[in-house]
């Protein structure tokens, strides 16, 4: 008799785990109180990338004369939104096909006990339960954070008119991606960040270079700015902030709250069945088990790196643990959940893997830095993309690759080669021995190793 799994949440972690579990012979029930695909597909990764592509095309048109092309053009934002919705619809249909062996129940779930989930009056019993209910946008606790026109990324992706002036609070991944997009769309964009640098958890060298690049495009980025309040005024929304002991304000049509996301801890009645949580998320062990052993949690609900691909691989870890007979110790796969590539789809892109220079210094690790620049790469120049570099951090004695940080065109694609090498404990000499096709952007990574 096959084992049964109930999965709560249909984001990438939930639906991909559901499809894989069904293929492995589990009897799978997937519960969702929203559209298939979760935040990533419907109001996050995918729609944002659609708009990123629109922004890229607009930038190409703006420089068309450099390619010998003289053209007049206009931008129909409504059609851009329609294309975004069409992409979402197509991918959602693909998910439905993947889940053909999965029972899908729509509605809000709650726990009855450690093996039983309630959806309305229906009870679903199963051997194992996986929680994949994701995260929600965080709001800065300041006066005016609930005013009309103060929005999160979800609402910004649903607007039908490009704001003339856009103020973004937060210069993390979400804030900078939207800053880059709407700057290309013609908005006057101001970004306010509390920390001294943009992308606070990234390599500082990389973050400073990105700020410089975005500023050259006309985006006003003010770091070390403490936002104090938002008020209605005759000119729109007035955002008041403190900078270097002085108080300033700016007017905007819309204010985007982009101060991060927090685990959706209110999604289920965790306390009633003894699932341990902290403000950072559901507590799990290396196998993604909660304090109730037959209940697992994956993705944003566990805190940590809130990325779709993390949720997917955490789901794989759960299935590997189940198929291995739920051991209490020892490895069940080769997945390195602490080695996660991350990308920021600004213009230029940013991508990173492994340790930063600052982390190496803090840990007392002796290291060397190797760099190569886009402006020395033939493919980058032919693409009119000379802005950027690749920075590789190696352990001084062994040459083992500790981290890589790239800013420039297609950085999100280039980072994967280094990720693979780090995962196999590769060193700088392994990288420099691999023949790379010419002319390609991948040679930027090779040249850094050389």
Distance CA 419, CA 400 (A): 12
Query: Is there a contact between 388 and 339 (Cβ–Cβ < 8 Å)?
Result: no
Looking up tokens 């920075």 gives 391
| 357 in Cβ contact with 367 (< 8 Å) | yes
Residues facing 75 on adjacent strands: none
The rounded distance, in Å, linking the Cα atoms of 338 and 254 is: 37
Backbone angles phi, psi at 230, to 5 degrees: -130, 130
Three-state DSSP state, 446: helix
Residues β-bridged to residue 190: 167, 220
Six token digits for residue 311: 């949720």
Within 114-224, strands assigned E span: 116-119, 122-125, 128-131, 135-137, 150-151, 165-169, 188-192, 220-222
Residue 279's alpha-carbon distances to 104, 166, 302, 432, in angstroms, are: 30, 31, 10, 44
CA neighbours within 13 Å on the CB side: how many for 381? 7
Catalytic-residue membership of 438? yes
Other C-beta atoms lying within 10 Å of the C-beta of residue 125: 13
The dihedral through the CA atoms of 363, 367, 369, 370 has a sign that is negative
Only one residue has tokens 């700088």, namely 428
Residue 58 φ/ψ, nearest 5 degrees: -60, -40
Catalytic position from the list 63, 115, 436, 438: 438
Which sequence positions are flagged as catalytic? Answer: 438
């Amino acid at each position: 008799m096959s084992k049964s799994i109930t999965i709560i949440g249909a984001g990438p972690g939930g639906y991909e785990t559901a499809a894989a579990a069904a293929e492995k012979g589990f009897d799978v029930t997937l519960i969702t109180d929203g559209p298939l695909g979760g935040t990533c597909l419907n109001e996050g990764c995918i729609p944002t990338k659609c708009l990123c592509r629109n922004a890229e095309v607009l930038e190409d048109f703006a420089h068309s004369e450099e390619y010998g092309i003289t053209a007049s053009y206009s931008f129909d934002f409504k059609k851009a939104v329609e294309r975004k919705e069409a992409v979402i619809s197509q991918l959602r249909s693909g998910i439905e096909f993947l889940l053909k062996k999965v029972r899908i129940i729509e509605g809000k779930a709650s726990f009855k006990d450690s093996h039983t989930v309630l959806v309305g009056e229906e009870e679903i019993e199963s051997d194992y339960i996986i929680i994949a209910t994701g995260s929600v946008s965080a709001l800065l606790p300041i006066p005016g954070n609930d005013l009309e026109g103060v929005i999160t990324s979800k609402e910004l992706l649903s607007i039908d008119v490009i704001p003339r002036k856009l103020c973004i609070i937060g210069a993390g991944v979400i804030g900078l991606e939207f800053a880059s997009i709407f700057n290309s769309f013609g908005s006057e964009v101001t970004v306010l960040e509390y920390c001294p640098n943009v992308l606070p958890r990234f390599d500082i060298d990389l973050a400073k270079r990105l700020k410089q690049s975005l500023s050259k495009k006309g985006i006003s980025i003010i770091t070390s700015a403490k936002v104090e309040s938002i008020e209605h005024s005759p000119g729109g929304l007035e955002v008041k902030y403190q900078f270097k002991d002085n108080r300033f304000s700016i007017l905007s049509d819309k204010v985007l709250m982009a101060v991060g996301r927090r685990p959706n801890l209110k999604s289920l009645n965790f306390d009633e069945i003894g699932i341990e949580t902290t403000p950072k998320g559901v507590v799990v062990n290396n196998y993604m088990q909660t304090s109730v052993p037959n209940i697992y949690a994956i993705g944003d609900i566990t805190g940590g790196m809130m990325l779709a691909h993390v949720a997917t691989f955490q789901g794989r870890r759960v299935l590997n643990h189940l198929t291995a007979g739920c051991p209490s110790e020892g490895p069940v796969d080769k997945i390195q959940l602490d080695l996660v590539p991350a990308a920021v789809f600004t213009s230029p892109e940013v991508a990173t893997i492994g340790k930063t220079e600052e982390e190496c210094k803090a840990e007392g690790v002796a290291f060397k830095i190797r760099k190569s620049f886009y402006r020395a790469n033939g493919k980058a120049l032919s693409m009119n993309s000379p802005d950027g570099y690749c920075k590789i951090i190696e352990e001084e004695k062994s040459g083992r690759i500790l981290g890589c940080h790239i800013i420039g065109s297609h950085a999100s694609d280039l980072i994967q080669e280094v990720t693979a090498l780090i995962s196999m404990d590769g060193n700088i000499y392994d990288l420099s021995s691999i023949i790379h096709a010419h002319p390609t952007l991948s040679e930027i990574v090779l040249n850094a190793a050389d």
